[in-house]
């Protein structure tokens, strides 16, 4: 991750068109104050352009402790002054999410599942908009259950797909289903793959990521409080997923991809594989 951040910082003028982060809600223009409740920030109480206007990269992950450790790691990689251990949680006024700013990089936790990351993304995108940020790239980092891959493999997501392997996210709004596309930025994905091949530190593939509604039944686990399927049914479903290009399973990718796409943000999902499904079963 460090090399790609450094690479983009060095080629900012050549590589990107200067586009400000956009929101897709005209109601925000009529509001005297926009309160980002779950970040404990506001357009009236905080100077968001001054605090966040230089942000170029946002890295999000489920665990608060992990995202603090990531911020400390990036602090070292970018060779910034000061002690990495002194990074400050900007959202310390709330216990919902954590947020750390390290130079042009923002590191934020999003919790688990679509509802939790969705709340965070709404307020994050508004934050970037109010701060007048430009050319921002969003990365989702984390762990996932691999499908037919060796343990330790990193999956760069090409498309986030639903339970039927469709590249779409369905959002119910006022009783109606709105369907949004979930294809991610191909250019950044290929650049990450190139960085990985040059570093040769871990196996990396590009594939589809399936998003489920829960950790147990939705991901085919046999050890939850409920289980309505057999081992054979599980393996048959996973074979179909593999044939559809799915290489890993998690719980946030579709809404992440959909919201990035609607708001014109470059988004990428970069996940490591835990030993969940043995590739030999395929």
Binding residue numbers for substrate? 219, 221
Using CA atoms, how far residue 135 sits from 119, 159, 266, 267, in Å, is 22, 21, 8, 11
Reference 117, options 270, 256, 263; nearest CA is 256
Separation CA 159–CA 120 (nearest Å):
21
Separation CA 170–CA 182 (nearest Å):
10
Separation CA 203–CA 108 (nearest Å):
26
Separation CA 30–CA 187 (nearest Å):
36
- Beta bridge partner(s), residue 107: 59, 100
Q: Which residues are annotated as a binding site for phosphate?
A: 96, 140-143
Q: Which residues are annotated as a binding site?
A: 96, 140-143, 219, 221
Separation CA 124–CA 113 (nearest Å):
16
The residue to which tokens 């043995």 are assigned:
278
């Amino acid at each position: 991750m460090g090399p790609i951040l450094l690479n983009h910082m060095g080629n900012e003028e050549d590589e990107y068109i200067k586009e400000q982060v956009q929101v897709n809600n005209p109601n925000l223009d009529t509001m005297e104050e926009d309160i980002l409740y779950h970040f404990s920030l506001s357009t009236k109480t905080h100077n968001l352009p001054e605090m966040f206007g230089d942000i170029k990269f946002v890295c999000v992950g489920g665990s608060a402790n992990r995202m603090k450790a990531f911020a400390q790691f990036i602090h070292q990689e970018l060779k910034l002054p000061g002690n990495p251990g002194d990074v400050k949680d900007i959202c310390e006024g709330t216990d919902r999410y954590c947020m750390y700013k390290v130079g042009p990089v923002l590191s934020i936790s999003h919790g688990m599942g679509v509802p939790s990351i969705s709340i965070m993304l709404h307020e994050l995108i508004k934050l970037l908009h109010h701060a007048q940020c430009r050319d921002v790239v969003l990365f989702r980092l984390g762990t996932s259950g691999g499908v037919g891959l060796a343990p330790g493999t990193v999956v760069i997501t090409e498309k986030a797909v639903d339970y039927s392997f469709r590249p779409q996210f369905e959002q119910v709004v006022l009783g109606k289903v709105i369907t949004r596309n979930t294809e991610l930025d191909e250019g950044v994905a290929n650049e990450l793959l190139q960085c990985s091949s040059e570093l040769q530190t871990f196996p990396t593939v590009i594939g589809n990521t399936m998003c489920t509604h829960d950790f147990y039944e939705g991901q085919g686990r046999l050890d939850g409080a409920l289980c309505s399927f057999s081992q054979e049914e599980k393996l048959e479903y996973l074979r179909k997923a593999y044939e559809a290009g799915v290489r890993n399973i998690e719980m946030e990718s579709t809404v992440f991809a959909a919201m990035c796409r609607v708001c014109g943000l470059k988004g990428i999902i970069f996940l490591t594989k835990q030993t969940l499904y043995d590739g030999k079963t395929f």
